[in-house]
Amino acid sequence: MTQVDVRTPVPARKASPDKRRSRRSATLVVGCVLAGLIALLALVSLIWLPYATDDTSGGRLAGPGGGHLLGTDKLGRDLFTQVMTGSRIAVEAGLGSVLIAAGLGITLGVLAAFAQGWLDDTVSAFLDILIAFPTLLLAMLIVAARSATLGSAVLAIGLAQSAVVARLVRILVKRVLAQDYITAARTSGTSWSRTVVAHVLPNIWPTLVVNLALQFGLAVLAEAGLSYLGLGAPPPNASWGRMLQEAQATFTTAPVGALAPGILLVLLVIGVNLIADGLRDTLDPATRKRRA
């Protein structure tokens, strides 16, 4: 007769709090290192570049070496100079888009949180429409009204992301407004503006900061995509997206022109995402409880 093993299963051992805290810290540190190196490259490009961005004296598709660390492109421009300039454009695009998204999104989200009834439904539907509106189409409209510049791309990305931020802020603020301490503050005579500044914003900022960090990475990718299509910073500004577009025809003979901006773009986005993940574990109490 077959015997049945009725031994009590040994429960899985949970990681100690110190190990979990160490993993969270490592994630944040790695993200800061990756993003920080590219940010440093962007800062250096403001005060020093190996060559002028329009200098074509390097020879067509020269390999690395001979005064050109990464070689030259099909026009004879130094690739390392273009990579440095592209890092500055990527950081500017990310920061500019996030600032626009945060300014508009927080304002609209807080106002929408106080809406009631049909107004609340209307605002929610409006935000959903803005979120569904393609960023590329919005960029085309703005470029048609202005011109193909970095500012136009940043404005388009910031406006598109502001709807995402506004919807998140609306949900977070409504959740905070339902708490008892908000009722107590209003009962004691605290104005709505004071309530928002003193009670609402401090309670939503941990989640909001994490979301804005993620939006930064998305903005960098969006700017690269727009520049690839010719809707970003015009020449001689060397956006990573434009570098990828220009190097695709010569990838087999000079792959560095595509690999260098592509790798840096991936590293920057990964770094920012790791920072967002580390901040979420550090700042969000709910996440800390779930992982404890």
Q: The whole model's pTM is what?
A: 0.85
Span 24-45+75-291 CATH architecture: Orthogonal Bundle (1.10)
pLDDT of residue 1: 45
- Which tens digits make up the pLDDT trace of 142-158? 877 888 888 989 999 99
Average pLDDT, the chain: 84
Which 3 state secondary structure label does DSSP give 78?
strand
Six-digit token pair at 86? Answer: 């592209």
Residue 254, pLDDT above cutoff 90: no
pLDDT of residue 286: 54
Residue 132, pLDDT above cutoff 60: yes
Domain range list for the chain: 24-45+75-291
The answer to whether the beta carbons of residues 158 and 147 sit under 8 Å apart is no
- Which tens digits make up the pLDDT trace of 166-201? 999 999 999 988 888 888 877 887 777 888 888 888
Burial of 127 (0-12, 13-18, 19+ CB in 10 A): buried
Residue 56, pLDDT above cutoff 50: yes
- Which tens digits make up the pLDDT trace of 212-250? 999 999 999 999 999 998 888 888 788 999 999 999 988
Six-digit token pair at 28? Answer: 């944040």
Q: What is the DSSP letter of 253?
A: T
pLDDT of residue 272: 95
pLDDT of residue 9: 52
More reliable by pLDDT, 120 or 286: 120
Q: How far apart are the C-alpha atoms of 85 and 274, rounded to whole Å?
A: 24
The answer to whether the beta carbons of residues 279 and 265 sit under 8 Å apart is no
- 200 contacts: CB under 8 Å, gap ≥ 6: 110, 173, 176, 177, 182
**CA gyration radius for the chain?**
24
